[in-house]
Structure 1
Amino acid sequence: MMLLEHDAKMLLAAAGLPVPAGRLVRRGDIAGLPALPLPQVLKVQVPVGGRGKAGGIRLVREAGDLATGLDELLGMEIKGHRVQACRLERAVDFVGEAYLSFTLDAGPGNIRLLLSAQGGVDVEDPSTRPHLLSAAVPADPEALRTAIDTLAERLPDGVRGAVTEAARSLVPLFFRYEALLLEINPLFIRADGSWVIGDTKLAVDENAFPRQRELAAIVRDNPDLYPEAALKLDQGYDYVPLDRDGDIGLVTTGAGLSMQLIDELVARGRRPFNFCDIRTGQFKGDPARLIQVLERIAAGPSIRSVLINFFAGHTDLGEIARLLIIALKSVPQLQAPITARMIGNGLDKARAIIAEAGNPVLIETDLERAIDLAIARAENAHA
C-alpha cells in the first residue's frame, strides 16, 4: 500500500529529516488556516505518481490562489483516484534536484538501490535512465549504507554529499517501517549544499500492520483517504473494486470462490463490479459488514444484478439470511435483483426467513445455475 505523500512526509519529519513545513487541507479548511508565508505549493494527495504531469500541483503566490487552487484540484481524478485532500507546503529555494530510492526485491530478498544526480518528473524518461546508478544490496542496514557510499562516489561533486547524507539518513526508516519502497524525488539541493525532501513515495506492507501500529493508525484515522485499507484493517473482509461500469455486484465467502465467480462471469462476456471475500464466520450476529459491502455495490452506476455466494460450514445459513435481510432493509438504494447461491448448514431455515421477508432474494443451491440466473436478471433489468 502506498502512503499519501503527506503522511510519508510527516513520518520523515518526525524522525528529524528536513521536510518543508506543510499541512493537509480538505474542502472547507481554508477559513481556519492562519496566515501563511508565501509562496506555498498545493499538491493533490493520491497514492500514485505522475501528479505533476496530470495537473495536480499548483503554486500559491497570493492568498487568493489557495481557494482557486483547491476548487480546481479537489474532486479531480488522477489515474482512477479521486482527490479528497491536498498537501499545502512551503515552497523551497533550490539549485538542483537529485533522486534516490530503496526498493525491496521480494524474490531474492535484496534491496535495489538507485541514485541519480538528476531528479524531477522526467527521471523515468529513457533519455535519463543512463544517469541512474543501481546496485543490488543484501537486506541489511550496514550493507545498504556501504552500498550508498560506494555508489555515490560516481555522482558529481556538487550533489554527492547531499545524496549520500540523505540516503544514509533514510536507511533506518526503511527498515523500521518494513517498507517495500522508499523513494525521494526530487531531493532538493540548496545553494549551500544542504538538502530538503521535495517529494516522497513510501510503500508499506499491510500484512505488517499488526506490528506497525503507527502505520495502521494512519489508515484508521483517515478512512476517507485509505478506504480499501481501512475496510480491510477494521472490518475483517477484503473488497476490491474491479470495473466502475460493471453490472453484476458480488458478495462472496472465500477469496477462491470470488475469483471463480469473476472468471466465469468474464468468460461469459459480463463485467463484474467487484471482488469480495466477506468471511461469514466473522459476522458474530452483526450485519454491519454486509451493510457496508451492499452500500458500495449500490453506489455502482451500472449495477443491474447482485450475486451472493454463501457456503456455510459451521456458520448457520439461517443466521446469515437473518443478517442479510437486515442489511437489505438498511440499504434501500440497492434496487437490483439479488440471487443467492446458498449451500450448507441451515438452508431450510434460510429459505423460511427469506420467504417471510417477502422473498427479496432468489435462492439457488447450484453454482452454475446461480450464475446463469444473475446474468439473466441483469439482462432483464437492462432491457
Structure 2
Amino acid sequence: MDLYEHQARELFEEHGILVPRAEVTDSPKKAREIARGLGGRTVVKAQVKAGGRGKAGGVRLAADPAAAELTARQILGMDIEGHPVRTVMLAQPVDIQAEFYVSYVLDRAAGRFLAIASAEGGMEIEEVAASRPEAVARVHVDPAEGVTSAKAAEIAEAAGLPPQTVDVLVRLWEVLVREDALLVEVNPLVRTTQGRIVALDGKVTLDDNACLRQSRWGAYGEAGDDDPLEAAAAAKGLNYVRLDGEVGVIGNGAGLVMSTLDVVAGRGARPANFLDIGGGASARIMADGLSVVLSDPAVKSVLVNVFGGITACDAVADGIVQALDTVRLTKPLVVRLDGNNAARGRALLDARAHPLVQQATTMDGAARRAAQLATTA
C-alpha cells in the first residue's frame, strides 16, 4: 500500500525526522487560510500516489495566500499519470543549501534491504543512475543487524553525504521496520542554510501482509483513496497492483508474476503492474486483464508469461486470441507459453498473426524483448 506524501511525512515526524510545517485540504478557500497561517509564502503540492508531479505542474510555489488559493484551484482536479488530484498539501518553503537522495528498498534477489543514496537529490534517481552511476551508492543492509550509527555512517560516506545525515538514515530505518514498510524514500533530503537536515518529500510503501498488526492502517484506506486502475481491476475480480514502470505484466500464479517482475527489472525496464490471472485464462479474464493493463498511460509494452499446468497453454492462447477481438491492442504484446500444451498454444497465436503480438520461448527472452520494446518506444 502506497501512502500519500502527507501521510509519509507524518510517519517521518513521529520518528524524529524534521519536515516543514504543512497542512492538507481539498478546498481552494481553505488553502488561502492555511497559507496565511504558514506565513503567506507556501509550496502547493498535489497529493497523488504517482511520480512526476513537478513535471505535470502539480508542485508550485505560491507567493501569498491569494496566490495559494488560485494555485490550489488550478491543481485540484488535475489528472497526473491517471491519478485525479483530490487534495493538495501546502508546506512552508525552506532555504536550501544542498539536496540529497536516500531510500531503503527490499532487494528480493539478495534477500536483504538495499540502501540507495546520492549527493545529487531533487531529481529522478533513475536519471542520475543512468547518466552518472558513480553518483549513486548502493549498500546492502542485513535485516537482522539493521542500520546502526556505524552502518548509517558507511552509507553516508559511500554516497558523499554530510555527517549530519547519519541520524536521519538511522531514523528512516526505524520507519521502515516499525511501520512494516517495503520502501522508504526521501527525495530531496535537504540541508538548509541554517544547517538543518529536513525531509522535503517522502514516499512510503507499506507491506499489506502486516495489516493485521498495524491497526492504524485503516485510516490510510479512505473512500476514494484507491488507484483508479486498481479499483477497476478489483471490480472485475482481478488481482492487480499498479506499479510505476512501463512494462505491463500478466501471469498465472503469484510466484511466477513476482519472478517476472524481477526479471523485467533485471533487463533494464520497470514493471508497470502486478497482475495474476490465477488458474484460469478465459477470453473474458484475458480481455479484462489486457484492458486494465493497457489503460495505464505509462505502459509501453505488455508481457504475458504463463506456465501451463491445470490450465493448459492452448486455453490461455485461445483466451488471448478471443480477447484480441474485443480489446484494441495499441502496444506490443510479448507472450511466453511453457508447460502443458505450450506448442499448441503457440500455434494458435501464430495462426492469429496479430502484427503487435510477438512470442518468446523463455521467460528471460520474453522479458528482454518486452523491455526493449518499452524502452525504445
The answer to whether structure 1 residue 153 and structure 2 residue 157 are counterparts is yes
| Partner in structure 1 of residue 140 of structure 2 | 136
| Partner in structure 2 of residue 205 of structure 1 | 207
Name the stretch that deviates more: 119-128 or 34-43.
119-128
Identity %: 27
The amino acid across from 2:178 in the alignment is: R
Number of residue-to-residue matches in the alignment: 267
Q: 1:108 to 1:190 in 2, by over 3 A?
A: same
| Partner in structure 2 of residue 214 of structure 1 | 216
| Partner in structure 2 of residue 71 of structure 1 | 73
| Partner in structure 2 of residue 184 of structure 1 | 186
1:181, 1:203 within 8 Å by CA — same for their partners in 2?
A: yes
The answer to whether structure 1 residue 24 and structure 2 residue 28 are counterparts is no
Pair member with larger Rg: 1
| Partner in structure 2 of residue 91 of structure 1 | 93
Shift of the alpha carbon at 1:171? 1.4
2:169 equivalent among 164, 167, 171: 167
1:141, 1:175 within 8 Å by CA — same for their partners in 2?
A: no
| Partner in structure 1 of residue 5 of structure 2 | 5
TM (norm. structure 1) is 0.60
Q: 1:112 to 1:68 in 2, by over 3 A?
A: same
**Correspondence 1:1-383 to 2 at 5 A:** 1-27=1-27, 30=30, 33-34=33-34, 35-36=36-37, 37-125=39-127, 126-143=130-147, 145-156=149-160, 159-219=161-221, 222-226=222-226, 240=240, 256=278, 259-262=281-284, 264-265=286-287, 273=291
Local SS of the residue matching 1:184: strand
TM (norm. structure 2) is 0.61
Structure 2: stretches of 5+ with no match in the other structure = 243-275, 294-318, 328-377
Deviations 1:274-308 (A, max 9, x none): 59xxxxxxxxxxxxxxxxxxxxxxxxxxxxxxxxx
Instruction: Give the alignment's Cα RMSD to 1 decimal.
Output: 3.8
Q: 1:180 to 1:376 in 2, by over 3 A?
A: closer
Local SS of the residue matching 2:113: strand
Q: 1:69 to 1:239 in 2, by over 3 A?
A: farther
Local SS of the residue matching 2:189: strand
Q: Partners in 1 of 2:167 and 2:325 — Cα distance?
A: 63
Deviations 1:224-249 (A, max 9, x none): 223679979x99x767599xxxxxxx
Q: 1:4 to 1:88 in 2, by over 3 A?
A: same
Q: 1:373 to 1:104 in 2, by over 3 A?
A: closer
Deviations 1:317-375 (A, max 9, x none): xxxxxxxxxxxxxxxxxxxxxxxxxxxxxxxxxxxxxxxxxxxxxxxxxxxxx999999
Q: 1:175 to 1:371 in 2, by over 3 A?
A: closer
Local SS of the residue matching 1:256: coil
Local SS of the residue matching 1:160: coil
Shift of the alpha carbon at 1:32? 8.1
